[in-house]
């Protein structure tokens, strides 16, 4: 299980760029003694509302591997929820951040500006879909990007209504918790929630069996009846839903929604916080669906692990906000911005879009083999390095597709013991998502899938 794989000659030179050997290695019980000790300290001072998937405390991370304080090495299939997309502690990102740290840590762009912010805005204008003039505001986190996108859309349209979809996830701030599909744990007891948020049916081909056109018709009819297009400022959609379980909408669903938005003066906002930045083998997942959103939200992977988020939109929409209406103390911090510039450069220089496709091409066939063996795997879906399996109760895959959250928990727990970090997802907690960094080698993919195979066999 912990054998070092003899890499082929062509791969060994590539592997040498990593400061941590790219292999899993379990040397203690999980969690190990030092993690258990740290966990005790944490429980005294960190509230239970901040929970952790796996209470192993990480000391180092590089490429696709994280190393805990007890010396255990895990294959990281979560990448900090899709943040370290180009790999943990990518050398170019680390170098760019170090250099920036020595020059200037903070001035506040809205007091005295600096070049790195402008450069990130230029790169976003270049790489988000659409060849029209675009402008970008930088903030700190995904939820803040959603908040700002909605703010700007409301100002631009003079309308209040915000439309979202079933199974959506948009954050944990006051507005965004009202935009999420799941009340628990994100909103339960945290009200009053923001008003003027309207949730409409999505496209979930595995469950609704609808064509994209029919699903869009249903969504649009619902919004026209329950709100009315003339009161909607924006429709916010994740092109591939993240927390909802990597739900890929049926072909034609998103373009039909966009067409309806455009015809009715509704700002179409793509929340690409999880799906963007090379994750799916395109700069932005919108491209897979022929979407050219009015506004694109970026966060998670944009700065290689440093906190940064962005709202990029049509210049005429973005410029509707009055001077001083947008920004924040840390938004577009110089170190985070310098790291983001390095991320964009690395994606282009390393041809990393192709790496996402490579991961799909290795991972999906391996998962298909498991699906032949285990009927609890109901669905395999996703694009690029954003792949999920949905687990159903035995024998219900062709009928009711009963959610099987127990199997998901058992598989994730088993995998952790064997040195594989797996993230769960899905409105019913019955989805395992594979959201690795693009540094994940084919050998590590097959190794991790063999662990999932063993886990399924123990169910
Ligand atoms: C993570 C996420 C957010 C929220 O981002 P934070 O940085 O956690 O505030 C919003 N939308 C989507 C699609 C996400 O995946």
Cα dihedral 368, 373, 374, 375, rounded to 10, equals 80
The confidence band for 1, taking pLDDT boundaries of 50, 70 and 90, is very low
Does the pLDDT of residue 6 top 70, yes or no? no
**What's the 84 CA to ligand 1 centre distance in angstroms?**
14
What average pLDDT score do residues 122-133 get?
98
Which pLDDT belongs to residue 49?
A: 96
Domains in the chain: boundaries: 13-76+352-457, 92-349
Does the pLDDT of residue 13 top 50, yes or no? no
The confidence band for 11, taking pLDDT boundaries of 50, 70 and 90, is very low
CA of 32: how far to CAs of 59, 100, 128, 458, in Å? Answer: 13, 36, 43, 23
Residue 309 CA, closest ligand 1 atom number: 7
The confidence band for 4, taking pLDDT boundaries of 50, 70 and 90, is very low
Does the pLDDT of residue 259 top 60, yes or no? yes
Work out whether strand 73-76 and strand 134-139 pair parallel, antiparallel, or are unpaired: unpaired
CATH architecture of 13-76+352-457: Alpha-Beta Complex (3.90)
Which pLDDT belongs to residue 17?
A: 85
Closest-CA residue, ligand 1 atom 8, reads: 142
Beta carbon of 355 within 6 Å of any ligand 1 atom: no
Distance in angstroms (rounded) separating the CA atoms of residues 311 and 138 = 7
CATH architecture of 92-349: 3-Layer(aba) Sandwich (3.40)
Contact 401, 318 (CB under 8 A): no
Contact 454, 410 (CB under 8 A): no
Which pLDDT belongs to residue 12?
A: 43
Which pLDDT belongs to residue 435?
A: 98
Which pLDDT belongs to residue 64?
A: 98
Work out whether strand 73-76 and strand 65-68 pair parallel, antiparallel, or are unpaired: antiparallel
**For all residues of the chain together, what is the average pLDDT?**
96
**What's the 135 CA to ligand 1 centre distance in angstroms?**
21
pLDDT tens across 316-335, in order? 999 999 999 999 999 999 99
Report the side by side order of strands in the sheet with 161-165.
134-139, 309-314, 295-298, 267-271, 232-237, 161-165, 197-200
Residue 272 CA, closest ligand 1 atom number: 13
Q: ∠ CA(81), CA(427), CA(172), 5° rounding? A: 55
pLDDT tens across 168-223, in order? 999 999 999 999 999 999 999 999 999 999 999 999 999 999 999 999 999 999 99
Beta carbon of 382 within 6 Å of any ligand 1 atom: no
Which pLDDT belongs to residue 16?
A: 63
To test the pocket of ligand 1, the residue of 148, 185, 187, 273 to mutate (highest count of ligand atoms within 8 Å of its CB) is 273
What average pLDDT score do residues 357-380 get?
98
Does the pLDDT of residue 10 top 50, yes or no? no
């Amino acid at each position: 299980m912990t054998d070092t794989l003899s890499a082929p000659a062509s791969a060994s030179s590539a592997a040498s760029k990593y400061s941590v050997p790219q292999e899993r290695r379990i040397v203690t019980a999980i969690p190990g003694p030092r993690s258990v000790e740290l966990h005790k300290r944490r429980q005294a001072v960190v509230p239970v509302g901040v929970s952790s998937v796996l209470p192993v405390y990480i000391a180092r991370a590089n490429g696709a591997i994280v190393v805990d304080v007890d010396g255990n090495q895990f294959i990281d299939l979560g990448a900090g929820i899709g943040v370290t997309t180009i790999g943990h502690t990518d050398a170019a990102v680390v170098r760019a951040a170090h250099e920036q740290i020595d020059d200037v840590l903070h001035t506040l762009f809205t007091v005295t500006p600096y070049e790195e912010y402008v450069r990130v805005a230029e790169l976003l204008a270049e790489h988000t879909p659409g060849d029209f003039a675009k402008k970008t505001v930088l903030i700190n986190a995904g939820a803040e990007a959603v908040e700002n996108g909605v703010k700007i859309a409301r100002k631009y349209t003079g309308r209040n209504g915000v439309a979202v979809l079933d199974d959506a996830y948009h954050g944990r701030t006051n507005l965004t918790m009202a935009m999420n599909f799941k009340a628990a744990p994100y909103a339960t007891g945290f009200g009053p929630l923001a008003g003027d948020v309207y949730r409409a049916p999505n496209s979930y081909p595995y469950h609704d069996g609808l064509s994209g056109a029919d699903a869009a018709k249903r969504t649009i009819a619902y919004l026209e009846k329950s709100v009315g297009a003339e009161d909607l400022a924006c429709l916010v959609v994740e092109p591939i839903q993240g927390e909802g379980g990597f739900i890929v909408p049926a072909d034609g669903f998103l373009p039909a929604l966009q067409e309806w938005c455009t015809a009715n003066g509704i700002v179409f906002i793509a929340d690409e916080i999880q799906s963007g930045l090379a994750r799916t083998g395109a700069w932005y997942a919108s491209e897979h669906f022929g979407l050219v959103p009015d506004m694109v939200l970026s966060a998670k992977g944009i700065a290689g692990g440093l906190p940064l988020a962005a709202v990029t939109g049509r210049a005429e929409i973005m410029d509707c906000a009055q001077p001083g209406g947008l920004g924040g103390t840390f938004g577009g911090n110089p170190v985070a911005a310098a790291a983001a510039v390095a991320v964009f450069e690395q994606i282009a220089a390393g041809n990393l879009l192709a790496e996402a496709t490579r991961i799909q091409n290795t991972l999906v066939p391996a998962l298909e083999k498991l699906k032949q063996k285990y009927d609890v795997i109901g669905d395999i879906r996703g694009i690029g390095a954003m792949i999920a399996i949905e687990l159903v109760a035995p024998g219900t895959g062709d009928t009711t597709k009963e959610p099987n959250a127990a199997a998901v928990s058992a598989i994730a727990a088993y995998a952790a013991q064997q040195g594989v970090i797996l993230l769960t997802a899905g409105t019913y907690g019955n989805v395992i998502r594979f959201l690795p960094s693009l540094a994940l080698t084919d050998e590590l993919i097959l190794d991790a899938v063999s662990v999932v195979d063993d886990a399924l066999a123990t169910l």
